[in-house]
Homo-oligomer: A and B are copies of this chain.
Amino acid sequence: MQEYRISDAVIRRLPKYYRYLSELEAAGIERVSSSRMSKDMNLNASQIRRDLNCFGGFGQQGYGYQVSRLRIEIMRILGIGVPHNMIILGAGNIGQALLKYRNFAAEGYTITAVFDIDENIIGKETGGLVVRPLSELREYAQKNRVDVAIIAVPKQHAPGLADELAALGIKGIWNFAPADVAPKGVSVENVHLSDSLYVLSYRIREKNEGFKR
């Protein structure tokens, strides 16, 4: 089925709708109105209706959305639940934390291999996988399906590695190195943990110093 492309801003909100609807479903709630979603999610109700209309949301005037139907539709759009094979490049702190963080696997995102260049950790087991030498990446990617490569290497190695991953035909990069990477033809999500720390730091200052509104 061919679909129309959804705007970036809407796509970024979809995971939030998904989380919210999952919580409602877990709480046994069957229907939700856009005005209730608006209050709970701190989003404008008309924006919610517009967002959900984008992909043929199932709202009915005075009746609301069917929680589980809407959740399943968003899940389908995001590709959640579809098996994704992920590999981790870099078995340092971030790499190991992601490897041990099991929540993604339940949604279909499975980590299938982990690579490093450090002789001290190559061959050792971590989070149920044996760390492979980075020199085996090419062969691994040729023999196995890899949907997402997670970059968790030091900043200076990230751009070169991203280009190598693109050359291997890997379509998705989840980049945790503090350097934006953007190889051609690859979808990239750059994760900058410090961004949210800085926003928090601003808000604390704002509170302490009582900025005018």
Contact surface of A with B, Cβ cutoff 8 Å = 1-5, 11-12, 14-16, 18-19, 77-80, 82, 84, 93-94, 96-97, 100-101, 103-104, 107, 109, 147-148, 171-174, 178, 187-189, 191-213
Contacts and interface: CB of A to CB of B under 8 A. Distances in A.
Copies of this chain in the oligomer: 2
A161 B167 CA distance: 46
Given A94-B101, A103-B178, 5 more contacts: A3-B211, A3-B212, A14-B198, A14-B202, A78-B202
16 contacts: A1-B209, A3-B211, A4-B213, A15-B192, A77-B202, A79-B204, A79-B205, A93-B96, A93-B100, A94-B101, A103-B194, A104-B197, A148-B197, A188-B200, A189-B197, A191-B196
Contacts of A171: 204, 207-208
Contacts of A3: 209, 211-212
Contacts of A206: 5, 187
Contacts of A193: 101, 191
Nearest to A107: B194
A104 B194 contact: yes
A18 B205 CA distance: 17
A212 B80 contact: no
B19 A210 contact: no
Closest 5 CB pairs of A and B: A97-B97, A187-B203, A15-B195, A79-B201, A93-B100
A210 B2 contact: yes
Contacts of A148: 197, 200-201, 204
A15 B97 contact: no
A8 to B, nearest CB: 9
